[in-house]
Amino acid sequence: MSARKLTAKITGVGKALPEKRLTNFDLAKMVDTSDEWITKRVGIRERRIAAPGEYTSHLAIRAAADALKMSGLTADQIDLILVGTSTPDMIYPSVSCLVQKELGAVHAGVLDISAACSGFVYGASLAWGMIKAGLMKNVLVIGAEVNSSILNWKDRDTCILFGDGAGAAVFSAHDSDSDGVLAIALGGDGNCTDLLNLPNSGCRVFPDEPGRYIKMQGNEVFKQAVRNMAECALCVLARAGLTSQDVSLLIAHQANIRIIDAVAKRLELPKEKTFVNIADYGNTSAATIPIALCEALEQGRINKGDVIVIDAFGAGLTWGAMALRWA
Ligand code: UT7
C-alpha cells in the first residue's frame, strides 16, 4: 500500500443568488429574441439579477459564510481567501479583502483572480497547491459575479446569456492516498483575446466601443469551449490515473447546454453524469461551478468515493479542470 499523502478535500460549500429573476419572456420585451430561441439554443429559462446596491462582494460574503458554516471551521482558521471574479466591486481593495473583513478571517491572505469564467477552478488549483505543499491548511475559494453590470441590454447576442451569483468552497488539508483532490490541469491561449473580451474595463481606452460591455464571437467561442474543455477533462483524468468510465459526475461551466452536451459526448459520458442548472441561472461566469457543486451536494448527486470532475472555460482564453474523489 502506498504512503498517505497530503492533499486537500472540500469541507464546505455555499451559494448566493440575488432575489430578482429575469425570464426569457422579460428579455423578449427588451430585445429581438424569444423564449423558444434561448431555451433551444442555450438552455436558459431565467437568470438572477442583483438589486441596485447589491455588489459582487455581498454575494461572495453570503456564499462564503455558508461554506464556512458547513466546514465547521471558524473564520480565523482560514489561511487564504481567493475570489475569481471579472466584476469586482472595484479593482482594489479586492473582493477577497472585503470578504475577509465581513467574515473576520483575521489570519487570511487575500487575492482576487482574473481568469474570467475559469476563475474558480484556477483558485481551487492554487488552494490545492498551497495545501499540498504544506504551506496552508484551509483555503476559501469563491466565484462571484454581478455580470448584469457589464451587459449591453440592447445586444441580444450577449444580454440573454449571463446572470449574477456566487458560490464558494472551503478546501482543507487531508491525509489520504486515494481521495480528495487527485489532479489539476490548467490552460490558456493568449492568441484568442479578440473572441471574448471586456473593452474599457482597464487603463486602455477603446474609442470605437460604446461602453464597458462583454463582447463575444459566440460561434468561435463555442468551438473553442467544446474542444478545450473536453481535452482538459481528459488530461486531468489521465493525470489522476483514471478514465471517463470512472467519472460519477461532470460539473462543467454552465455557458450553453449544447456545450455541456458536446463535452459529455466527447468524454463518452451519459447525460445523467453531467450536472446542469443553466436553466435557472444562466452563465454566472466564475460562479457557475461552485453554485453547481453546491446544488449537486444539496440534491444528493455526490456521495463519498465518487469521482467528480470540474471543468471550466472562459475569456483569455482560459480553461482548467480538477478531478476529485469525494472524501
Ligand atoms: O462563459 C464564457 C464562454 N461563453 C461561451 O462559451 C458561449 C459560447 N457561444 C454560445 O453559446 C453560442 O454561440 C451563442 C448562444 C452565443 C449563440 O448561439 P449560436 O447557435 O452560435 O447562434 P448564432 O450566433 O450562430 O446565430 C444563429 C441565428 C442567427 O440568425 P440567422 O443569421 O441564422 O438568421 C442569429 O442572428 O440566431 C440569431 N440569434 C438570435 N435569435 C434570437 C442570435 N442571437 C439571438 C437571440 N435571439 N438572442
User: Hey, which of 22, 41, 45 would you mutate to test ligand 1's pocket, going by the most ligand atoms within 8 Å of its Cβ?
Assistant: 41
Active site annotation includes 228: no
Same domain, 34 and 156: yes
Phi, psi of 120 (to 5 degrees): -70, -40
**Domain membership flag for residue 52:** yes
Computed over every residue of the chain, the mean pLDDT equals 97
215 lines ligand 1 (CB under 6 A): no
Q: Which atom of ligand 1 is nearest to the CA of 315?
A: 2
261 lines ligand 1 (CB under 6 A): no
- Give 3-state DSSP helix, strand, coil % of the chain, rounded to 5: 40, 25, 35
Residue 281 · residue 165 · CB < 8 Å = yes
User: Could you list the residue range(s) of the whole structural domain that residue 22 is in?
Assistant: 6-175
Please determine, for residue 279, whether its predicted confidence score (pLDDT) is greater than 80: yes
Domain count, the chain: 2
C-alpha cell at 263: 463535452
Same domain, 164 and 51: yes
**Domain membership flag for residue 61:** yes
Q: Which atom of ligand 1 is nearest to the CA of 288?
A: 1
Same domain, 146 and 214: no
Same domain, 102 and 228: no
Omega of the bond leading into 88 within 30 degrees of 0 (cis): no
Same domain, 129 and 226: no
Please determine, for residue 281, whether its predicted confidence score (pLDDT) is greater than 80: yes
Q: What is the CATH number of the domain that holds 207?
A: 3.40.47.10
Total residue count of the chain as it appears in this document = 327
d(CA 106, ligand 1 centre) in Å: 46
d(CA 114, ligand 1 centre) in Å: 26
End-to-end C-alpha distance for the chain, whole angstroms: 19
Same domain, 152 and 188: no
86 lines ligand 1 (CB under 6 A): no
Task: Please write the tens of the pLDDT for every residue from 113-143.
Answer: 999 999 999 999 999 999 999 999 999 999 9
> What DSSP element (H or E) covers 218?
helix 218-239
CA separation, residue 45 to residues 23, 102, 245 (Å): 6, 33, 31
Last residue of a domain, one of 115, 142, 175: 175
Please determine, for residue 258, whether its predicted confidence score (pLDDT) is greater than 90: yes
User: Hey, which of 222, 229, 232, 253 would you mutate to test ligand 1's pocket, going by the most ligand atoms within 8 Å of its Cβ?
Assistant: 222
Task: Please write the tens of the pLDDT for every residue from 45-72.
Answer: 999 999 999 999 999 999 999 999 999 9
**Domain membership flag for residue 214:** yes
C-alpha span between 79 and 108 (Å, rounded): 4
289 lines ligand 1 (CB under 6 A): no
The pLDDT of residue 149 is 98
Same domain, 319 and 221: yes
d(CA 40, ligand 1 centre) in Å: 11
Same domain, 165 and 244: no
Question: Atom 17 (ligand 1): residue with closest C-alpha?
Answer: 218
Residue 149: how many CB atoms within 10 A of its CB?
15
Please determine, for residue 148, whether its predicted confidence score (pLDDT) is greater than 80: yes
Active site annotation includes 283: yes
Residue 172 · residue 311 · CB < 8 Å = no
The pLDDT of residue 4 is 73
Same domain, 90 and 157: yes
* pLDDT confidence tier of residue 109, bands split at 50, 70 and 90: very high
Same domain, 288 and 196: yes
> What DSSP element (H or E) covers 176?
strand 164-176
Please determine, for residue 2, whether its predicted confidence score (pLDDT) is greater than 80: no
Exactly one of 58, 97, 117, 138 is catalytic; name it.
Answer: 117
Return the bridge partners of 312, or none. Answer: 320
The pLDDT of residue 3 is 64
C-alpha span between 217 and 318 (Å, rounded): 15
Same domain, 137 and 188: no
Residue 294: how many CB atoms within 10 A of its CB?
23
C-alpha span between 95 and 57 (Å, rounded): 5
Quote the DSSP letter at residue 249. Answer: E
Last residue of a domain, one of 145, 175, 205: 175
Angle, CA of 230, 232 and 233, to the nearest 5°? 65
C-alpha cell at 101: 473583513
Active site annotation includes 117: yes
221 lines ligand 1 (CB under 6 A): yes
- Which of 310, 272, 307 lies closest to 291, judged by CA? 310
**Domain membership flag for residue 29:** yes
Residue 168 · residue 103 · CB < 8 Å = no
155 lines ligand 1 (CB under 6 A): no
d(CA 122, ligand 1 centre) in Å: 27
Same domain, 168 and 195: no
260 lines ligand 1 (CB under 6 A): no
Mean pLDDT, range 20-27, rounded to an integer: 98
* pLDDT confidence tier of residue 244, bands split at 50, 70 and 90: very high
Last residue of a domain, one of 138, 155, 175: 175
Strands (E), 51-155: 80-84, 109-113, 138-146
**Domain membership flag for residue 1:** no
Please determine, for residue 199, whether its predicted confidence score (pLDDT) is greater than 60: yes
Residue 318 · residue 115 · CB < 8 Å = yes
Task: Please write the tens of the pLDDT for every residue from 153-197.
Answer: 999 999 999 999 999 999 999 999 899 999 999 999 999 999 999
List Cβ neighbours of 219 (8 Å cut-off, separation of 6 or more): none
C-alpha span between 12 and 171 (Å, rounded): 8
State percent of the chain over pLDDT 90. Answer: 98
